[in-house]
Amino acid sequence: MAAAVLQLSGLTKSFGGKSVLHGIDLEIADGEFVSLLGPSGCGKTTILRLVAGFEAPDAGTVRLDGVDVGPLPANRRAVNTVFQSYALFPHLTVADNVAFGLRMHRVPATEAARRVDEALAMVQLDGYGSRRPHQLSGGQQQRVALARAVVNRPRVLLLDECLNALDHQLRLDMEVELKQLQRRLGIAFLFVTHDQEEALSMSDRVAVMEHGRIEQLGTPRQVYESPRTRFVAGFVGEANILPARVTALAGPGRVVVDLAGSACELQTDLELAVGATVQVVLRPEDLRLTEVGPEQQPEGCLLGRVVERIYKGRTLDTVVELAAGPRLKVSEFFDEDDPALDHPAGARVAASWVRGWEVVLADG
Ligand SMILES: Nc1ncnc2c1ncn2[C@@H]1O[C@H](COP(=O)(O)OP(=O)(O)OP(=O)(O)O)[C@@H](O)[C@H]1O
Ligand SMILES: [Mg+2]
């Protein structure tokens, strides 16, 4: 990994006696794109504010390029923040909005003008310098906010839910643009979001947070395919999480469990004894349904009845009530010419999956 540009160690913070961050450790490499992903109130913005210097931690340090920036005020730290609200100055032109930070740092006018042009070109807004924010679309305002931040050549750009105000299509376009911009600039991005797709699609690594802690830090594939906790499995993507009990050991890395009344052989790195209880994570898109007759008991499958069919355009989602009680969500690619996908409500079905695609979590 490249040298760390940002190092957070042991950051804690409480407000009015309520602890909101419990020892955050995170290192971001130069030029890396890292997302903080978690539900509302888990402490994402608080982390950004500690890095930016808008708040001081109760304990722990923030290092930029190896230097503890604790003693430095916000305007002396080589970071810039892009907020959800954009926070553009309505009475200033686009160019003056972008030049604002340069003026504060007394950058000479000719150099400032050149850097503003460069920054506007970077976000594809050449020629928009004399407009005012209200003469721009939401997506364009978002780009001005980005230009205003990158013009200062920060070491780390902090972005707080900055795509939320955009409509769905524009948001998807901006995800691609933002990732490309980040590559061109080579600046590290610390991006806050509660949208898992946004985090997965743009990040080199994702820190999944809950209640002021980082639950798991890894590449998008690691957090999606190998969640380490029930929370991560359920928050990053959709997941069926079913309780199971180990009934036999089946060799290295393999156990047989009783899963919703069926005997299933599963792969796991966990050291498990017979009788141990576990949670089994099955992604809806990893499951396939086949209709079965009343007497059939196919091995290693989960048996149940179709209770709901939801047409989603690209996928056909099915809710299955398992004979043993819990419900299972299955998501299959929709193909109107495939009769095998046609399971009416009430049909008896078996859900199967490729062995090894399940994730086994220790209980508790
Ligand atoms: N200045 C403050 N004074 C008191 N409590 C605060 C302050 N700032 C944040 N909090 C509390 O700290 C917790 C974490 O807030 P934070 O804004 O970091 O969450 P978040 O993960 O960014 O949430 P969201 O996704 O809703 O923006 C919340 O319970 C919040 O109410
Ligand atoms: Mg927030």
Residue 161 CA to residue 165 CA, distance in Å, equals: 9
The pLDDT of residue 2 = 65
> What's the distance, CA 244 to chain centroid?
28
Q: Amino acid identity of 161?
A: E
Q: Whose CA is nearest to atom 8 of ligand 1?
A: 46
pLDDT range class, residue 1, cuts 50, 70, 90: low
Q: Whose CA is nearest to atom 6 of ligand 1?
A: 15
Q: Which of 36, 42, 198, 235 has most ligand 1 atoms within 8 Å of its beta carbon, as the pocket-test mutant?
A: 42
Which of 158, 209, 178, 163 lies closest to 36 in space, CA to CA?
Answer: 209
Q: Which of 19, 40, 46 has most ligand 1 atoms within 8 Å of its beta carbon, as the pocket-test mutant?
A: 46
Length of the chain: 364
> 319-357 pLDDT, tens per residue?
999 988 899 999 998 877 777 777 889 999 999 999 999
* Cα distance between the two ends of the chain: 34
Residue 244 CA to residue 66 CA, distance in Å, equals: 47
Instruction: For residue 145, report the distance from its CA to the centre of ligand 2, in Å.
Output: 17
Q: Amino acid identity of 237?
A: G
The pLDDT of residue 299 = 85
> 20-79 pLDDT, tens per residue?
999 999 999 999 999 999 999 999 999 999 999 999 999 999 999 999 999 999 989 999
C-alpha distances in Å from residue 33, one per residue of 178, 203, 263: 10, 5, 43
Q: Whose CA is nearest to atom 18 of ligand 1?
A: 43
> 155-181 pLDDT, tens per residue?
999 999 888 877 888 888 888 888 988
Tokens of 126: 């050449």
Q: Identify the residues whose C-beta falls under 6 Å from ligand 1.
A: 15-16, 20, 38, 40-46, 194
The pLDDT of residue 178 = 87
Please report how the helices 168-185 and 109-122 are oriented relative to each other, as an axis angle in degrees rounded to 10: 130
pLDDT at 152 over 60: yes
Residue 29 CA to residue 138 CA, distance in Å, equals: 31
CATH of 240-362 among 2.60.120.260, 2.40.50.140, 3.40.50.300, 2.60.40.2220 = 2.40.50.140
Residue 249 CA to residue 158 CA, distance in Å, equals: 48
Are the CB atoms for 8 and 51 separated by under 8 Å? yes
Q: Collapsing DSSP states into helix, strand and coil, what is residue 285?
A: helix
Are the CB atoms for 133 and 141 separated by under 8 Å? yes
Ligand sitting nearest the alpha carbon of 55: 1
Average pLDDT over residues 283-289: 96
Residue 7 CA to residue 51 CA, distance in Å, equals: 10
Instruction: For residue 47, report the distance from its CA to the centre of ligand 1, in Å.
Output: 10
From the number of C-beta atoms within 10 Å of its C-beta (0-12, 13-18, 19+), residue 297 rates as exposed
Which of 176, 116, 174, 124 lies closest to 150 in space, CA to CA?
Answer: 116
Q: Whose CA is nearest to atom 4 of ligand 1?
A: 15
Instruction: For residue 106, report the distance from its CA to the centre of ligand 2, in Å.
Output: 31
| Cα 176–Cα 177–Cα 182 angle in degrees, nearest 5 | 100
Residue list, CB under 5 A from ion ligand 2: 45
Hey, what long-range contacts does 255-264 have (CB within 8 A, 24 or more apart)? 255/360, 259/302, 260/302, 260/322, 260/323, 260/324, 260/325, 260/326, 261/303, 261/322, 261/323, 261/324, 262/299, 262/300, 262/301, 262/302, 262/303, 263/299, 263/300, 264/300, 264/302
Alpha helices (runs of H) in the chain, residue ranges in sequence order: 44-52, 94-104, 109-122, 138-150, 168-185, 196-202, 220-225, 230-235
Residue 235 CA to residue 212 CA, distance in Å, equals: 15
Q: Which of 11, 12, 15, 196 has most ligand 1 atoms within 8 Å of its beta carbon, as the pocket-test mutant?
A: 15
Q: Quote the pTM value.
A: 0.91
The pLDDT of residue 352 = 95
HSE, side-chain direction, 13 A CA sphere, residue 322: 20
The pLDDT of residue 65 = 96
Tell me, which fold does domain 4-228 have in CATH? Rossmann fold (3.40.50)
> 101-151 pLDDT, tens per residue?
898 888 999 999 999 998 998 888 999 999 999 999 888 898 899 899 989
> 205-233 pLDDT, tens per residue?
999 999 999 999 999 999 999 999 999 99
- List every span in the chain annotated with CATH 3.40.50.300: 4-228
- List every span in the chain annotated with CATH 2.40.50.140: 240-362
